[in-house]
Chains A and B, each alone.
Chain A
Amino acid sequence: MKSYQYIIDYFENSPTIIQVVWTMSGVFLIGVVILTIYLKYLRSRLRKDEKKVAEYKREYESDLITYLYAGNDEEEISAEQQIIIDKLRSCASDEFKRSIIVSKLLRLRNDISGEMADAIQKLYFQSGLIAYALKRLKSKKWYVVAKGIREFTQLRVKEVNDEIVVFVNHPKREIRKEVQLYLVTLFHFDGLKFLDILQTQLSEWDQIQLLEVLQRFDEQEIPDINPWLKSKNNSVVAFALKLAKIYNQFEVKDALIELLSHQQKNIRVDAIHVLSHLHVVEAKDILKNNFDNLSEDEQIEFFKMLENVFESSDESFLLAHTTHQNFEIKLLALKIIKILAIEKFVNLKNFSTDDDYVKIYEFLENN
C-alpha cells in the first residue's frame, strides 16, 4: 500500500513532461496488450473462416452438381432440383454463405456453356440470388455496386440492362468499367453504343479488356466506327483506332486520314500505324509531303509505314533520311533502300562516318 502511494506521489511531483511520458507509455502499453489479444483472435478467426469456407465450398459444389444432373426433359424443374433450390435460397440469406454460393456459380458458369450454363442461370433466378445482386446496385458503396454489376455480367443476365446503363458515366472508374464489360459481354458490338454517350476517358486497361471480350465472339459484323473516329472524346477515338486495326476496317480510311491532323499526338501516331496496317497508300504521300512538320514519334511511325508500302519513287526521300539524327529512322531508311535498290545500298557504304550509321550499315550488310 505504501509503495502504491509512493508511485502516485512520484508521479504528481514530476514535471509535466514526465507525466505526459508516463501517461503515453501507459496508453501504448494498453494498446500493445489489446492489439496482441485481438491479433490472436483475428488469426484464429481467419483460420476458422478458411476452414468454414472450404467446408461450405465442398457442400455447395456437390449441391450444384446434383442440381445440374437432376434435370429431366419432362419437367421445367424436377422435384430433386427444387429441393436444392429451396436449400440454397435459405442459405442465401446469410451473407457469408451467399458469397460462397455465388462465387461457385460464377466460376462454373465461366467455364461451361450450353444447357448446363442455362441451368445455372435458372438456379440463379429461382434461388433468389438475383434479388440480392439487384439490391447491390442501390448501394451507396461503389465497390458493392461494381460487384453487383460484375455478377450480372458473369451470369449473362440481360434483363437488368436498364438498371445498369444508368451508371455509364458514373464518376467512379471501377463502376464504369464493370458497366462497359457488362454491355459488351452481353450485347457484343451492340453494347459498344455506350461510346456515343461516354463523357469520361476510357483507359488503356479498359480498352484492352473490351477488345478481349469482343474477340471471344465469332461474329465479324462490325458497326460503323466512323462516328467514334470523329468523337470529341479522345479515348473513344483511340479505341476506335484499335477496332479499325483489329477488324481491318478499310472503309473508314477517310476518317483515318483526317486523324493525321488530330490535335493529340498519340492519336496521330496511332492513325499512321493503322493506315500502315491497312496499306492505305494515299496516306503515304500526305505524310511524305508534310514530313518535316511531323513530331519525331510520327516520323518514326511513318518510316515503319514506308517499310510496308514503299515504291521506287520513294528512293530520293529515303536517301535524304539515311543521315537523320534518329537511330530508328536511319535504320529503316537504309533497310528499305537495301530492299529497294541493292546497288544504291552498296554505294552508301562510306556515306557517313557517324558511329551509329556505320554500325547500322554493317549490321544490314551482314543480314
Chain B
Amino acid sequence: MNTTTVEIILIIIHSLFFIYAFFAIASYVILAIISAVETKEYVKKNSFVNYKEILSSTISPSISIIAPAYNESLNIIENVRSLLSSHYVNYDVIIVNDGSKDDSLEKLIVAYDLVKVNFLINQQIPTKPIRAGVFKSTNPAFEKLTIVDKENGGKADALNMGLNISNNQYVACIDVDCLLLENALQKMVKPFLEVTDQKVIATGGVIRIANSCIIKNGKLLDVNFPEKWIEKAQILEYLRAFLLGRMAWSRLNGLLVISGAFGLFDKKIAIEVGGYDTNTVGEDMEIIVRMRRHMEEINEKYKVAYIPDPLCWTEAPDNYKIFISQRNRWTRGTIETLRKHRKIGFNPKYKSLGMLSYPYWLFFERLAPVIEVIGIIYFAILMALNEVRWDYAIAFIILAYLFTVLFSIVAIYSEELTYHQYKKKGTGFKLLMISLLEPFVLHPFILYAAIRGNMDYYFNKKKKWGEMTRKGMAKAENN
C-alpha cells in the first residue's frame, strides 16, 4: 500500500466518525426540542383533569395487574399489599410465582388467607405448567387477588401465564417490587379510551428511582435524593431518558420500548401476537416491536402512548456489580430484539417504524458503545504512534463534554417545570453537580457493561442460556 491509499482510508474513517457524531448530536437536539413541545402540550392537557373525581366507577374498563415474582419472599407481602391499594375500581392483581425456591407462596397463603381454587385456564400462549395451583383469598378484602404458582420459566413465561389467566380487557405488566401511585391505572388507561381515530395498543409509564425515598405500607411518603454517586447518576440518566427521549419518541409515535417495570397493554393484541418471547432477555422491548410490526402488517392505524407522570417507583441498583449485570442484560435484549426483527429495518413497508425508529435504535443505542470503543482504541493507537494533535483532540473532548452537561441540565430543567419531585433545598445543587460528574462516574460503567453484553451475546452462548432458566427478574439479582 502506498501512502495515498492509507491517507484516503484514514480520511474515510475520520469522516465516518465525524458524520456519526454529527448525527448523534443532531438527533439529541431534535429530540429535546420535540420533547419540549410535547411536554408543554401534555401539561396543559392535564392541568384540569381531575383523576380523583373520575373513573372510580364500575363502568370503567377492566384491568389486570400482572406481576411475576421469583424468590421475593423478603418483601412479597408488602409488595402485594401495595399493588392492592390502587384507587381504580375495576381491576385485579395476578401474582405469578415463577417457581420460586423460597417460601414466597407459604407466606402469601398465610398473609392473605389463600385457598387453592379450581381454575380453568385458556392456554392461548404456551407456558411452563402450573406447580401448586391457582389461589384466591377467602377474605373479601382481598377478593381482587389471584396467585398462580407455576414452574420456573423466566419473567416472560410468567407474564404469559398472567395473560392466559386474566379475564380483563387490559393488562398492566409490572415488576412486583414496583410501587404504583394510587391513580396510576386511571392515568395509564386514559390513552386507550380517549383516542378515537387510531388504536392504542400499549401505554408506557415512567420509572422513577425510589432509593432513599421513604416508603411505608406500600405508600410513597417522602421523595429524597440519594447519597451514592451511582444512584444520583441513575436518577439523572432516567430523567434524560424519560423526560426528553421517550417524550419525544411518543410524539413521533416511534416508541420501541416500554419499560418492563410498568406498561399497560391491550390484552387481545398482546395475545394475538403470541405474548412475550421467552427466548430473549429483552422481552419488554421485543413485545412492543412485535406488536407494532403486527399492526403494520395488518395495516391498521395504531399508537403506543406514553404517560410521563411519575407513577411507578422502584429501587435501582446501588452498587456497580449489580448495575453492570443489569445493563449487560439490557444490551443483550436490544441486540436480540433488533436482530430478530431486522426485516423491518430500512424497509419502507414499515413506514416510520422501519425508516426512523429502527435505524435510530440500531445506530444510536445498539451500535453507540461499539463505535465509542472503536474510537477509543483508534485514539490509543494514534497516541502510541504519537500522531495525536493534542490541541485538536482536547477541543473536541471539551465540546462533547459540554454538550453532555448541557443536555443533562435541560433534562433537569424539564423536570423542574413539570413534576418538580426533588423539592428539598440543596438538591438543585446536587443535581447540577451530578450533571458535571456523570460522564465520569456512570458513563464508563455503562460502556463497560454494554461491551460485556456484546461479548456475552456473541461469544458466551452458555451464559445466555444458563441465565434464561435460572433468572427471575432484575430484582432477583438485587437481593
A interface residues with partner B (beta carbon < 8 Å): 10, 18, 21-22, 24-25, 28-29, 31-32, 35-36, 38-40, 42-43, 46-47, 50, 110, 143, 146-147, 150, 173-174, 201, 203-206, 208-209, 211-212, 215, 235, 242, 246, 327-328, 331, 356, 359-360, 363, 366-367
Q: Which residues on the A side are within 8 Å of B413 (C-beta)?
A: 35, 38-39, 42
Of the A-B pairs whose beta carbons lie under 8 Å apart in the complex, a sample of 26, sorted by A's number, is A10-B391, A21-B395, A21-B399, A22-B395, A28-B399, A28-B402, A28-B405, A32-B405, A32-B409, A35-B413, A40-B428, A42-B413, A43-B428, A46-B420, A143-B48, A173-B194, A201-B196, A204-B194, A208-B193, A212-B54, A215-B57, A246-B59, A327-B124, A359-B120, A360-B120, A366-B118
A110 to B50, CA, bound (A): 12
- Let me know if B320 is at the binding interface, CB within 8 A: no
Interface pair B193/A204, CB less than 8 Å apart:
yes
Interface pair B54/A143, CB less than 8 Å apart:
no
Q: State which of A24, A43, A110, A242 has its C-beta within 8 Å of the C-beta of B399.
A: A24
| Chain B residue nearest in CB terms to A245 | B59
- Let me know if B319 is at the binding interface, CB within 8 A: no
List B residues 29-66 near A (Cβ within 8 Å). Answer: 44-45, 47-48, 53-55, 57, 59-61
Interface pair B55/A208, CB less than 8 Å apart:
yes
Shortest Cβ gap from B143 to chain A (Å): 19
Interface string of B404-446 (1 = CB under 8 A from A): 0110011011001100100101001000100000000000000
- Let me know if B465 is at the binding interface, CB within 8 A: no
| Chain B residue nearest in CB terms to A173 | B194
Q: Which residues on the B side are within 8 Å of A331 (C-beta)?
A: 120
Q: Which residues on the B side are within 8 Å of A246 (C-beta)?
A: 59
Q: Which residues on the B side are within 8 Å of A143 (C-beta)?
A: 44-45, 47-48
A363 to B59, CA, bound (A): 30
| Chain A residue nearest in CB terms to B25 | A24
Shortest Cβ gap from A157 to chain B (Å): 16
A35 to B9, CA, bound (A): 42
- Let me know if B396 is at the binding interface, CB within 8 A: yes
A42 to B392, CA, bound (A): 37
- Let me know if B384 is at the binding interface, CB within 8 A: no
Q: Which residues on the A side are within 8 Å of B396 (C-beta)?
A: 21
Shortest Cβ gap from A108 to chain B (Å): 14
B interface residues with partner A (beta carbon < 8 Å): 44-45, 47-48, 53-55, 57, 59-61, 118, 120, 122-124, 190, 192-197, 391-392, 395-396, 398-399, 402-403, 405-406, 409-410, 412-413, 416-417, 420, 423, 425, 428, 432
Interface pair B395/A25, CB less than 8 Å apart:
yes
A47 to B426, CA, bound (A): 12
A205 to B45, CA, bound (A): 14
| Chain A residue nearest in CB terms to B398 | A25
Interface pair B399/A39, CB less than 8 Å apart:
no
Q: Which residues on the A side are within 8 Å of B432 (C-beta)?
A: 36, 39
In order of increasing CB-CB distance, the 8 nearest A-B pairs are A28-B402, A205-B193, A201-B196, A204-B193, A205-B194, A363-B120, A43-B428, A143-B44
Interface pair A31/B406, CB less than 8 Å apart:
yes
A197 to B120, CA, bound (A): 47
Shortest Cβ gap from A110 to chain B (Å): 8
Interface pair A208/B48, CB less than 8 Å apart:
no
A205 to B406, CA, bound (A): 40
Q: Which residues on the B side are within 8 Å of A36 (C-beta)?
A: 409, 432
A38 to B99, CA, bound (A): 53
A87 to B83, CA, bound (A): 47
A328 to B403, CA, bound (A): 57
| Chain B residue nearest in CB terms to A326 | B122
Interface centre among B44, B192, B396 (most CB of A within 10 A): B44
A28/B59 contact (C-beta < 8 A), A18-B395, A143-B48 known: no
> Apart from A208-B60, A212-B59, what are 14 other A-B pairs with CB-CB below 8 Å?
A25-B398, A28-B399, A32-B406, A35-B406, A36-B432, A38-B413, A39-B416, A110-B53, A143-B48, A201-B196, A204-B192, A208-B193, A211-B57, A363-B120
A22 to B61, CA, bound (A): 57
Interface pair A212/B409, CB less than 8 Å apart:
no
Interface pair B190/A205, CB less than 8 Å apart:
yes
Interface pair A18/B45, CB less than 8 Å apart:
no
| Chain B residue nearest in CB terms to A234 | B196
Shortest Cβ gap from B186 to chain A (Å): 10
Q: State which of B54, B118, B197, B423 has its C-beta within 8 Å of the C-beta of A209.
A: B54
A242 to B61, CA, bound (A): 13
Shortest Cβ gap from B339 to chain A (Å): 33
Q: Which residues on the A side are within 8 Å of B195 (C-beta)?
A: 203
Interface pair B54/A35, CB less than 8 Å apart:
no
Interface pair B118/A39, CB less than 8 Å apart:
no
A150/B118 contact (C-beta < 8 A), A39-B412, A204-B194 known: no
Interface pair B402/A25, CB less than 8 Å apart:
yes
A28 to B395, CA, bound (A): 13
Shortest Cβ gap from B225 to chain A (Å): 13
A211 to B403, CA, bound (A): 51
A173 to B193, CA, bound (A): 13
Q: Which residues on the B side are within 8 Å of A46 (C-beta)?
A: 416, 420, 423
Shortest Cβ gap from A366 to chain B (Å): 6
A56 to B425, CA, bound (A): 22
A25 to B395, CA, bound (A): 8
A58 to B192, CA, bound (A): 39
Shortest Cβ gap from B388 to chain A (Å): 14
A359 to B395, CA, bound (A): 71
Q: Which residues on the A side are within 8 Å of B406 (C-beta)?
A: 28, 31-32, 35
A22 to B122, CA, bound (A): 64
Q: State which of A28, A146, A205, A360 has its C-beta within 8 Å of the C-beta of B403.
A: A28
Interface pair B403/A363, CB less than 8 Å apart:
no
Interface pair A35/B428, CB less than 8 Å apart:
no
Q: Which residues on the A side are within 8 Å of B428 (C-beta)?
A: 39-40, 43
| Chain B residue nearest in CB terms to A201 | B196
A208/B59 contact (C-beta < 8 A), A31-B406, A36-B432, A331-B120 known: yes
Shortest Cβ gap from A184 to chain B (Å): 13
Interface pair A35/B409, CB less than 8 Å apart:
yes
Q: State which of A38, A211, A327 has its C-beta within 8 Å of the C-beta of B122.
A: A327
Shortest Cβ gap from A232 to chain B (Å): 15
Interface pair A29/B402, CB less than 8 Å apart:
yes
Q: Which residues on the A side are within 8 Å of B55 (C-beta)?
A: 208-209, 212
| Chain A residue nearest in CB terms to B196 | A201
A359 to B124, CA, bound (A): 13
A47 to B424, CA, bound (A): 9
A209 to B186, CA, bound (A): 12
A127 to B412, CA, bound (A): 40
